[in-house]
Structure 1
Amino acid sequence: MDITITGRGVEIPDRFEDYATEKSEKVAHLADKALALEIKVLRHHETNGSAGDDRVELTLIGPGPLVRAEASAGDKYAAFDLAHEKLLERVRTAKDRKKIHRGARGPESLAQATSNGKVADLVPASAAVLEAVATGEVPIQNDEPEAEWSPVVIREKVFPAERMTKEDAVDRMELVGHPFFLYIDAATDNPAVVYRRTGWNYGVISLDAEADEVGRKRRG
């Protein structure tokens, strides 16, 4: 497994490279098919210009989906340790899920295998909420001028749509460490989002494309 270490706004001393490389051997042992591990160290600055925390971002690259983890702390060593533990936990969880899938009989889902037969809940929501979740748009536009500063920060990202089952979507969500994951449902071809509830319980919100088409015809 190749290991690359880069810094943004912070110097990377040889001591840290040796420290990170040595600890990453545990990742290589656990994820024996991994091809590369990218380690990025970034410096956070406070608004008054004083030095802030260091953030470490880890990305494990392999034949399957990417596995990511990140953490911030007062120094790069502590931040690396926190991110390293998160990454190991996600790799272990992914390996456990594969074992569950192999041992399942028939079309048993991941949620059934890990929560005594309780499948992911299908939670209804309004069409406006579902559309906002699926597209990543937040309907907050108005005619009032924006304030110079706001505590609300909205980050926008666009990813290519992927067709998969809700079980695969849960796996991808856990690997990247996000509380939700957008995808195209393989069974219905409709946009959907899976999200984490508590423990091994997950929820799924999906759009009904046919209902939207009927509504358009009625309005037309």
Structure 2
Amino acid sequence: MRYTISGKNIEITNALREVATNKLSKLEKYFSEDTEVQVTLSVLKKNHIIEVTLPLKGTIIRAEEEAENMYAAIDLVIDVLERQLLRHKKKLINRHRHHGTFRTAFAQVDYEDDEGLAIVRSKKFPIKPMDAEEACMEMELLGHSFFVFRDRDTEELAVVYKRKDGQFGLISPE
């Protein structure tokens, strides 16, 4: 795996870079050598935050954790990523769409940081037909607060989102 480690409000020392790389190397068994891993380390007040983005074929695994020191945050994010990858692996196996090895299900996805005046980042992705429950699972897997999908029954676009009370909401056209 190739690592791109960047920092916000923190200087990335060689020791910090080495610890992050060594800990993330535990996940190499799931990926090919050309997989690009985006790691962002940041400090906000007294919180140390790490965000890791792993592009996969058809989806993106993303985890963000914060702790009182960066080394603890790195350990926490590794645990979250391992759980997400195992959940994703089970999902692939259960759907019988898994062809070849688990490693072949992953592919390099271009990662861009678009800096515009109004739109900070833009993404294009295929919208797959699924039911609301699958969309909620995908949203949780990505670590997002909403997810756009095509309803399998109506073939209309719909959005699931996570409410402040922890429940899920569904937005669909009339």
- TM-score between the two structures when normalised by the length of structure 2: 0.69
Is it true that 1:178 corresponds to 2:105 in the alignment? no
The aligned runs of 1:47-66 (5 Å cut-off) are: 52-66=46-60
Mind listing any 5+ residue stretches in structure 2 that lack a counterpart?
A: 98-120
Give the CA deviation at 1:165. 1.3
Q: Whose Rg is larger?
A: 1
- Aligned partners of 2:149 and 2:14: how far apart in 1? 41
**Residue pairs, 1:77-156, within 5 angstroms:** 77-102=71-96
What displacement does 1:186 show? 4.2
Q: Are residues 186 and 33 of structure 1, via their aligned partners in 2, closer, same or farther at CA, if it must alter by over 3 Å?
A: farther
Q: Percent identity?
A: 28
Would you say how many aligned residue pairs link Structure 1 and Structure 2? 147
Q: Deviations over 1:108-147 (max 9, x none)?
A: xxxxxxxxxxxxxxxxxxxxxxxxxxxxxxxxxxxxxxxx
Unpaired runs of 5+ residues, structure 1, are 46-51, 104-156, 197-201, 210-220
Change in CA separation of 1:63 and 1:10 when aligned onto 2, cut-off 3 Å: same
| Residue identity in the other structure for 1:189 | E
**TM-score, normalisation: structure 1:** 0.56
Question: Distance between the aligned counterparts of 2:48 and 2:80, measured in 1?
Answer: 16
* Distance in 1 separating the partners of 2:20 and 2:146: 29
1:38-97 superposed Cα distances (whole Å, 9 cap, x missing partner): 11001102xxxxxx1111000002333111000111111111111121111111100011
Letter paired with 2:138: R
CA distance in 1, matches of 2:158, 2:5: 36
Q: Partners in 2 of 1:21 and 1:69 — Cα distance?
A: 16
Aligned pair in 2 of structure 1 residues 61, 159: CA closer, same or farther (>3 Å)?
closer
Aligned to 1:205: 170
* Greater per-residue strand proportion: 2
Indicate conservation of the 8 Å contact 1:33/1:62, yes or no: no
- The verdict on how the C-alpha distance between 1:185 and 1:33 changes in structure 2, with shifts beyond 3 A counting, is farther
Partner of 1:66: helix, strand, or coil? strand
Hey, which of these two has a bigger chunk of helix by percent? 1
